[in-house]
């Protein structure tokens, strides 16, 4: 593991998308930055907005790609290469259709699950055994409705549920950064609502 732990949130850049479900990964990064008292700054060499934070005594690089979701992999690769971060020093947070609002799940490795942002990350980063924070946003019920759904703002009660889960996820970062992944998973999965069956697939 490098001296820095890299935490990436996926989302779409620009005020138009700031409050949409697809930006849940950015919401998580904003929460970590707020708790740490740091500010994001645009860094062209990373194609991203970046903040350096100390979380639980560990130096962390918080990254919000400045491109749209479908092209976020370039930023992830640039940061990973610069800081020589291995898979055990990388966490990527993103919205998950197949989990309901209020649920957040940590997962080590696996596929991209049809998420276009993760698909682009996979095309740029060849070691896919990094940690993921899957942030539940729910599913509209029909594949054809997914794009409009993820690019719209959740209802107030759903947004509160999502942000509550993000707070729980931020709370377990102390264990993540200490390498206690199993403990972090157990605590987060206990703290957030039980996973419900969500119809359909088709992330965008």
Beta-bridged to residue 55, according to DSSP, are 58
Distances in whole angstroms, Cα of residue 146 to Cα of each of 95, 119, 203: 12, 17, 7
Of the candidates 22, 47, 115, 139, the residue annotated as catalytic is: 22
Q: How far apart are CA 75 and CA 80, in angstroms?
A: 9
Write the CB contacts of 126 (distance below 8 Å, at least 6 apart in sequence): none
3-class state of residue 124 by DSSP: helix
DSSP state of 27: H
Q: How far apart are CA 159 and CA 164, in angstroms?
A: 8
Q: Which of 97, 69, 63 is nearest to 81 (CA)?
A: 63
Q: Is 22 a catalytic residue?
A: yes
Asked if 28 and 105 touch (Cβ cutoff 8 Å), the reply is no
3-class state of residue 52 by DSSP: strand
Catalytic residues: 22
């Amino acid at each position: 593991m490098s001296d820095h732990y890299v935490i990436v949130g996926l989302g779409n850049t620009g005020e138009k998308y700031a409050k949409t479900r697809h930006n849940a990964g950015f919401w998580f990064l904003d929460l970590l930055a707020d708790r740490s008292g740091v500010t994001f700054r645009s860094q062209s060499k990373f194609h991203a907005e970046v903040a350096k934070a100390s979380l639980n005594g560990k130096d962390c690089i918080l990254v919000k790609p400045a491109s749209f979701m479908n092209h976020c992999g370039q930023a992830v690769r640039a940061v990973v290469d610069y800081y020589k971060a291995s898979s055990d020093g990388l966490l990527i947070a993103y919205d998950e259709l197949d989990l309901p609002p209020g649920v957040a799940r940590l997962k080590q490795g696996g596929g991209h699950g049809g998420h276009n942002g993760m698909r682009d990350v996979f095309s740029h980063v060849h070691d896919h055994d990094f940690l993921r924070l899957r942030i539940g946003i729910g599913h509209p019920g029909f594949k054809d409705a997914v794009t409009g759904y993820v690019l719209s703002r959740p209802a107030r009660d759903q947004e509160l549920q999502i942000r509550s889960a993000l707070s729980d996820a931020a709370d377990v970062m102390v264990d993540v950064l200490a390498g206690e992944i199993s403990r972090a998973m157990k605590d987060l999965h206990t703290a957030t609502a039980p996973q419900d069956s969500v119809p359909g697939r088709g992330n965008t």
